[in-house]
Amino acid sequence: MSNWISHCTAGTSSIRTLLALLLLLIGAGVARADAAQTFVFAGKTLPVAHVATVGGKLAISVRDPGLAQLLRATGASMTWNPGERYVLFTTAEPQIVSFAVGDARYDVGPRSAQAGFAPYEMSGTVYVPFDELLSALYLAPKRDGDAIVIQPQLAAFDVRGNGSESVLVARAGIPLKPRIVEESASQLVYAFDGVGTTLDRSRAIRAEGIRAITFAQSGTVRAPVTTVTIALAPGTGHGRLETDDRNGFSLAIGGAAASEPVAVATPEPTAAAAATPGPQATPAPANAVATVTGIDAHAGPNGYSVDIAVAGDATYDWHRLRDPDNRFWIDIHGAALSAPIGDVVGSDPVDAVRVRQLDATTVRVALSLAGQKRLDVQPSADGVKVSVYSEDAGDDVARAGTGALGNASAVAVAPTPVPSGDAWKFGARSTYVATNPRLIVIDPGHGGSDPGAGRGGLREADLALDMAKRLRDILVARGWQVVLTRTADVDVYKPNDTARDELQARDDIANNAGARMLVSIHVNSFINAGPRGTTTYYSKPSDVALAQAVQASAAGVLGTKDDGIVKSHLYVTLHATMPAVLVETAFISNPDDLAKLTSPDWLQKLALEIADGVKKYAGAPPAPGQSANQ
């Protein structure tokens, strides 16, 4: 019968509809509504209303209220929508249990199996094989008189060696509440109330320190107790039995590690560490031997310098166009960018600097000059240096040149032809010109009705404001104008506003003032204590250089971990018209980082380092009076 159903429903949807009608017509004999059946779970009757039997096997509607209650109690959830073929359950572990209408094959995590019958559609809902679903949730139906008791099981028992000790890991159908029966030098005995087991009564364990593990079930069908006895080898220590929110427990047993995992009841999917290169990575082409590792563009006493760091041997040629088209570029041949480098907003006499991988083996650095300025190009210790001077050049200025770096042949390279017309132009994003190039807007994250992340009374909103004020004072002392988006614990837009309004209000302050840059200061957080360190987030190409400069300086302050720069789709950086970064200074959720966040010395040093990053990126603030907006 079940084969027949699965065969037919594997056909077209019209056959399925026909089948559903047929099932309705012949009803009782094939898929019998079985509402009289009582289901008991955790001592209470479940409100199961929509079950049927198919060939003697139970089917349950995915819309059944009893099933919904059962899923909640076991920490599982379901994804299904009317008309859809797939019914997906996520267990607490987490594992995905996948059913599909018309297909008797079902998956539990990485394993596939055949169900007694294929899930089928009827009356706008889907009926799935109940026994198979229960088993996947580590539940077992047990008959007790007229009722069916759904008994949570202790299942999926595993012993793992982690290098220095053996770790016992088990999962069950419900959150576990172990009772310690005995913890002695020779054995550990734990009892789990309300849980049955189908695990083998005893098993030999090859893990060092453990002689044997025995499982015993006692109690009644409705109130089972499972006792786990771990016989220890002499002189073996153990840790505390830990339960987790995924219906599991773990226990570390001291002594040498297990030579290999034994008694694996649930094979884990192989987390193949097939890391795909991020979209940001610019893989160095195989035939490019040198690497452009960074650009340091900064204002100096006599003008502006661009230091191009090149590792390896390369040649270069440079060109400049005639006034009024004051563009200059230098091509590094046989080289690749080690990482993308974004546009840099320059300062007089350089309006902007742009770096890109022109082709597989050529890196181009282009400068937009404020006028027909005098410049020179010289190999330096780290690569090549382009110096642009404040004074204008004469008419007989050189318009092209070549050179070699490292051991590259000094044979003159034929300059590449000058691109005609618009072959190389600065994109819209790099043409941002600050109307107030002396102004830096600092945004202390969160505040007011949004305290941000918190830990033990410490709040992100307060920490961010503290750091922002320290940064402001340093930058002001160095000659910058600084505006904070907030100077107290308040909402910038209005109390209880949306995050969008709040973030846009901060961007508006910087955008309307035509600021040179926006630096948003935050404190990171995670659901566990693991992650730590400093990250600078950015979004736009024009943010990259600022992010690199700030991160290079601010990361690693007094031992903080350097988590690098990270591109993300962040509102505050995306909607700032100028270069903008969001600095996640440290993790409030990590004890080491938290200690730093409570140290005024660390906060001050961090502010200083961010200020130094700003200096590395933008040089000194332009002299007052350079902008009409001051």
Partner 1 sequence: MKRTLMLAVILIAVAAGSWWFLSHRNPNTVGDTLDIYYTKASDGTSEVSWPVSMRPMQSGETSAEHTHNAALYAAVQTVAGPPADVQAVRFPAGTRVLGVTVAGPTATVDLSSDVERQSGGTFGENGEFKSLVFTLTAIRGIDAVAVLVDGKKLDTLPGGHVELDQPLHRGDF
Contact call for residue 508 and partner 1 (CB under 8 A): no
For residues 543 and 548, give the distance between their C-alpha atoms in angstroms, rounded to a whole number: 9
HEC states along 294-309? EEEEEEECCEEEEEEE
Nearer to partner 1, 102 or 224 (CB): 102
Provide, rounded to whole angstroms, the least separation between the CB of residue 346 and partner 1. 26
Which among 22-30, 89-97, 313-321, 386-394 is the span making contact with partner 1, rule CB under 8 A?
89-97
CB 545 within 8 A of CB 579: yes
Q: Is 531 in the site for partner 1 (CB under 8 A)?
A: yes
Binding segment (CB under 8 A) for partner 1, from list 366-374, 474-482, 493-501, 595-603:
493-501
Instruction: Output the CA torsion 474→475→479→484 (10° steps).
Output: -120
- The H or E element that residue 547 is part of is helix 544-554
**Distance from C-alpha of 34 to C-alpha of 44, rounded to nearest angstrom:** 19
Does 265 participate in binding partner 1 (rule CB under 8 A)?
no
Other Cβ atoms closer than 10 A to 442 = 29
**Residues listed for the chain:** 630
Spatial neighbors of 306 by CB under 8 A, at least 6 apart, are 295, 296, 297, 350, 353, 365, 367, 385, 386, 388
Is 259 or 568 the residue whose CB approaches partner 1 more closely? 568
Contact code string over 536-565 relative to partner 1, x by CB under 8 A: -x-x-----------------------xx-
Radius of gyration of the chain from Cα atoms?
A: 34
Phi, psi of 25 (to 5 degrees): -65, -50
The reply on whether position 275 binds partner 1 by CB under 8 A is yes
Question: Is there binding between residue 12 and partner 1 (CB under 8 A)?
Answer: yes
Shortest gap between Cβ of 107 and partner 1 (angstroms)? 7
- For partner 1, which residue of 56, 110, 237, 427 counts as binding (CB under 8 A)? 110
Judged by CB under 8 A, the chain residues 307 through 336 that form the site for partner 1 are none
Residue 503 engages partner 1 in binding (rule: CB under 8 A): yes
Q: Coil, strand, or helix at residue 606?
A: helix
Closer to partner 1 by Cβ: residue 320 or 596: 596
340 binds partner 1 (CB under 8 A): no
Count residues near partner 1 (CB under 8 A).
Answer: 80
Site for partner 1 in 396-425 (CB under 8 A): none
Between helices 13-26 and 2-9, what is the axis angle to 10°? 150
Q: What is d(CA 284, CA 336) in angstroms, rounded to the nearest whole number?
A: 5
Residues identified as active-site:
584
Binding residue for partner 1, selected from 270, 287, 378, 420, defined by CB under 8 A? 270
Q: Which part of the chain contacts partner 1 (CB under 8 A), choosing from 336-344, 435-443, 533-541, 595-603?
A: 533-541
- Closer by beta carbon to partner 1, 64 or else 443: 443
124 or 234, CB closer to partner 1?
124
Instruction: Find the binder of partner 1 among 3, 13, 198, 599 (CB under 8 A).
Output: 13
Interatomic CA distance for residues 236 and 548, integer angstroms: 51
Tell me the angle at which helices 600-618 and 544-554 cross, rounded to the nearest 10 degrees. Answer: 140
Nearer to partner 1, 93 or 296 (CB): 93
**Per CB under 8 A, does 244 bind partner 1?**
yes
Contacts of 61 (CB under 8 A, 6+ apart): 50, 51, 67, 125, 126, 127
Residue 578 within binding range of partner 1, rule CB under 8 A: no
Q: Toward partner 1, which CB reaches closer, 273 or 428? A: 273
Candidates 12-20, 49-57, 213-221, 509-517; binding stretch for partner 1 (CB under 8 A): 12-20
Ranges assigned E (strand) in 334-469:
335-337, 344-345, 350-359, 362-369, 373-379, 383-392, 400-405, 436-444, 454-455, 458-459
Minimum separation from the CB atom of position 156 to partner 1 (A): 11
CB closer to partner 1 out of 300 and 427: 427
Report the distance separating Cα 385 and Cα 284, nearest Å. Answer: 22
Q: Which of residues 189-218 bind partner 1 (CB under 8 A)?
A: none
Of 264, 265, 266, 259, the residue nearest 206 (C-alpha): 259
Q: Residue 350 in contact with residue 333, Cβ under 8 Å?
A: no
Considering only residues 471 to 490 of the shown chain, the ones binding partner 1 according to CB under 8 A are none
Contact with partner 1 (CB under 8 A): which of 19, 453, 515, 518? 453
Residues 342-381 close enough to bind partner 1 by CB under 8 A: none
CB of 11 to partner 1, least distance (A): 6
* Position among 257, 358, 505, 566 found at the interface with partner 1 (CB under 8 A): 566
Looking up tokens 């009827």 gives 122
Q: Which of 52, 199, 405, 523 is close enough to bind partner 1 by CB under 8 A? A: 523
Q: Closer to partner 1 at the Cβ: 144 or 244?
A: 244
Residue (of 53, 617, 556, 621) closest to 294 by Cα position: 617
Exactly one of 276, 287, 378, 409 binds partner 1 (CB under 8 A); that residue is: 276
Among 524, 534, 548, 553, binds partner 1 (CB under 8 A): 524
Alpha-carbon distance of 259 to 140, in angstroms, equals 33
Window of 39-47, 58-66, 391-399, 496-504 that interacts with partner 1 by CB under 8 A: 496-504
Taking the complex as a whole, how short is the minimal distance between the CB of residue 515 and partner 1, in angstroms? 20
Question: With 0-12 CB in 10 A as exposed, 13-18 as middle and 19+ as buried, what is 178?
Answer: middle
Burial of 184 (0-12, 13-18, 19+ CB in 10 A): exposed
Which stretch, 22-30, 45-53, 307-315, 569-577, contacts partner 1 (CB under 8 A)? 569-577
Return the residue of 53, 74, 98, 553 that touches partner 1, per CB under 8 A: 98
Q: Does residue 588 bind partner 1 (CB under 8 A)? A: yes
491: helix, coil or strand? Answer: coil
For partner 1, the closer of residues 28 and 428 by Cβ is: 428
Structure token digits, residue 434: 């600050």
CB of 450 to partner 1, least distance (A): 5
> Closest separation between CB of residue 82 and partner 1, Å?
10
Tell me whether residue 446 or residue 596 sits nearer to partner 1 (CB atom).
Answer: 446
